[in-house]
Amino acid sequence: MSHAAPQPRTFAPTGPLRGTVRVPGDKSISHRSLMLSALAIGESRITGLLEGEDVLSTAAAMRAMGAQIEQTGDGTCIVHGVGVGGLLQPDAALDMGNSGTSTRLLMGLVASHAITATFIGDASLSKRPMGRVIDPLSLTGAEFTASPGGRLPLMVRGICPAVPIRYRLPVASAQVKSAVLLAGLNTPGITEVIEPVPTRDHSERMLAGFGAELTVEVDADGVRHIRLVGEAELKPQQIEVPGDPSSAAFPIVAALITPGSEVTVTHVGMNPTRTGIYKMLEAMGADLTYSNERMVGGEPVADITARHSVLTGIEVPPDVAPSMIDEFPVFFIAASMAQGRTITSGLDELRVKESDRLALMAAGLMAIGAQVEEREDGLVIDGSGGEPLEGGATVASALDHRIAMSFAVAGQHCYRGVTVDDISPIATSFPTFEAMLRELAAG
Ligand code: S3P
């Protein structure tokens, strides 16, 4: 897939950030709500859906496989599903754009249907490893023809009936877990995923919410056993998608690093498998308060208020990584302006996200004057002690929305601002990002 012309943008300090904002719907939950609604028989209604490019790729794919999805433009979606087992053969290749979650989860769905689908994506997605999903799904009897290195473009030849599998995750990945469970939906018998390190559990929560028979047992070693009874019948639902805690991390870190700021982000998902970033920022001395705590659509939600704080460096325990895996780029920005040293390790997975996030963040941070050592599995950062960084450089976003937004946030507290070479990837997860920053700057 070709990519539109790059859109460079300079982010300069705006003074204090103030106000109350709401961030778009959770990306992980948005993908899953479309997929499961498309597999339920009857009409589901989704509100608060993230209408970013990644989720639109999922919607287009589910339409191409027979679901009716009507978007009313304000994050509300009406979906008429085809039923588990009812996915149709798509006429053309499924274009996944930049979205790894769409690709891996849909590969699972296709694997247990008697259809064949080809997956294509942009330059970033076409570099990402799909072998981690091909390996377990091949055990079900589905067949895969991938590009060298197990990459896109690739073709999945699904099988029905597929063989139920019992699979122990070799990497902590919610996408791999979800791909196996989604394949299990249309497979006779029990599909089991064994998860030694917990990852985001939105699939488990939502499958149960749609009426699938799913159990989670934690054994004596703390290992999760997730069992799903196949040939499930999903019942249509009304789903309210909470705000994305990964997106909320951007205005919150921006407020923490910008003197005089006080920002409230409302309606933020507080699922404990996602909140590592907030725990780590608090461990660094961040002034964060939580209010209006409640349950929305089976997920805990709260409003978070962040006030400017001079942070102190910490060593991030590697076992916290899965619960803040997408937040490391903006966390590194916070660390680069903290007092003292921040050490991270166990982050090999960051090298296979939308970009190599360790390499890109290290290069960009050094370019704006931060002190960074790049290690194989993490960064070691010596912070500025709360002082602004020099800035003045142009950093590469490499088709990675979170790299682009992280350096946009850094620009708030750099003497000479920061130029991001291409902000267009931000539209994959946070189309209102720039408007939100402007609103907070206007106070
Ligand atoms: C996601 C899981 C994570 C995360 C990604 C979304 C999901 O990826 O980085 O942005 O929705 O399941 P991994 O499963 O590769 O850890």
- Tally the domains of the chain: 2
pLDDT mean across residues, the chain: 97
Q: What is the pLDDT of residues 282-308, one digit of tens each?
A: 999 999 999 999 998 889 999 999 999
pLDDT digits (tens, 9 = 90+) for 133-179: 999 999 999 999 999 999 999 999 999 999 999 999 999 999 999 99
Render pLDDT for 244-270 as a digit per residue (tens, 0 to 9): 999 999 999 999 999 999 999 999 999
4 domain-assigned: no
441 alpha carbon – ligand 1 mean position (Å): 31
Laid out side by side, the sheet with 371-375 consists of 341-343, 378-382, 371-375
Task: Say if residue 65 is in the same domain as residue 157.
Answer: yes
Output the domain CATH number for residue 265. 3.65.10.10
Task: Assess contact for 343 and 378: CB atoms under 8 A.
Answer: yes
Residues 6+ apart with CB under 8 A from 204: 181, 214, 216, 226
Axis-axis angle for helices 328-336, 401-410 (nearest 10): 20
Please report the pLDDT score of residue 64 as a whole number: 98
Q: Report the nearest atom of ligand 1 relative to the CA of 177.
A: 14
Residue 278 pLDDT exceeds 90 = yes
Q: How many CA atoms lie within 13 A of 165 on its CB side?
A: 23
Report yes or no on 256 lying in a domain: yes
Instruction: Determine, yes or no, domain membership for 178.
Output: yes
Residue 99: the pLDDT is 98
Q: Are residues 121 and 188 in the same domain?
A: yes
**In the predicted model, what is the mean pLDDT of residues 377-393?**
98
Is the pLDDT at 25 greater than 50, yes or no?
A: yes
Q: Indicate whether 15 and 97 sit together in one domain.
A: no
Instruction: Render pLDDT for 71-117 as a digit per residue (tens, 0 to 9).
Output: 998 899 999 999 999 999 999 999 999 999 999 999 999 999 999 99
Q: Over 298-335, what HEC string results?
A: CEEEEEEEEECCCCECCECCHHHHHHHCCCHHHHHHHH
The predicted structure's pLDDT at residue 3: 59
Q: Give the residue ranges of DSSP H helices in 325-391.
A: 328-336, 357-367
Q: What is the pLDDT of residues 140-151, one digit of tens each?
A: 999 999 999 999
Ligand 1 centroid, distance to 260 Cα (angstroms): 34
Residue 196 has a CB neighbour count (10 Å cut-off) of: 12
- Specify the amino acid at residue 61: A
Same domain, 189 and 246: no
Asked whether residue 2 carries a pLDDT value surpassing 50, the answer given is: no
> In this structure, are 65 and 186 located in the same domain?
yes
User: Atom 11 (ligand 1): residue with closest C-alpha?
Assistant: 28
Domain annotation covers residue 80: yes
- 284 lies in a domain? yes
Look at residue 158 and tell me if it is in a domain: yes
Last residue of a domain, one of 218, 240, 262: 240
Mutate which of 26, 27, 28 to test ligand 1's pocket (most atoms within 8 Å of Cβ)? 28
Average pLDDT score over residue span 235-250: 98
2 in a structural domain = no
One domain, residues 256 and 220: no
Sheet with 166-168: strands ordered across: 166-168, 190-195, 224-229, 214-218
| pLDDT at 383 > cutoff 80 | yes
Tell which one of 33, 175, 204, 326 to mutate to probe ligand 1, the residue whose CB is within 8 A of the most ligand atoms.
Answer: 175
Same domain, 199 and 74: yes
In this prediction, residue 73 carries a pLDDT of 80
Q: Is 118 in a helix, a strand, or coil? A: strand
Give the Cα separation of 262 and 412 in Å (integer): 14
Which of 217, 240, 263 is a domain's end point? 240
Q: Are 165 and 308 within one domain?
A: no
Using pLDDT thresholds of 50, 70 and 90, give the confidence band for residue 4. confident
Nearest-angstrom CA–CA distance, 347 and 407? 20
- Rounded to whole angstroms, the maximal C-alpha distance in the chain is 61
Instruction: Pick the residue whose CA is nearest to atom 9 on ligand 1.
Output: 326
pLDDT above 90: residue 42? yes
pLDDT at 343 over 60: yes
Assess whether 56 and 147 both reside in one domain. yes
Together in a domain, 127 and 114: yes
264 and 339 in a single domain? The answer is yes
Q: What local confidence, expressed as pLDDT, does residue 297 receive?
A: 81
What value does the mean pLDDT take over residues 189-218? 98
Whole domain around residue 350: which residue ranges? Answer: 9-25+242-442
Q: What amino acid positions are annotated as catalytic residues?
A: 326
Residue to probe by mutation, ligand 1, list 32, 173, 244, most atoms within 8 Å of CB:
173
Alpha carbon 338 to its chain's center: 26
Instruction: Assess contact for 85 and 186: CB atoms under 8 A.
Output: yes
In a domain, 407, yes or no: yes
Per-residue confidence (pLDDT) for residue 298, from 0 to 100:
86
Give CA–CA dist 185/422, Å, rounded: 40
* 17 and 125 inside one domain: no
pLDDT at 1: 43
Write out residues with Cβ below 6 Å of ligand 1: 28, 101, 173-175, 178, 200, 325-326, 349
**N-terminal to C-terminal alpha carbon distance within the chain:** 40
**Domain boundary residue, one of 214, 240, 266:** 240
Residue ranges of alpha helices (H) inside 42-128 are 53-64, 100-111
pLDDT category, 233, cuts 50, 70, 90? very high
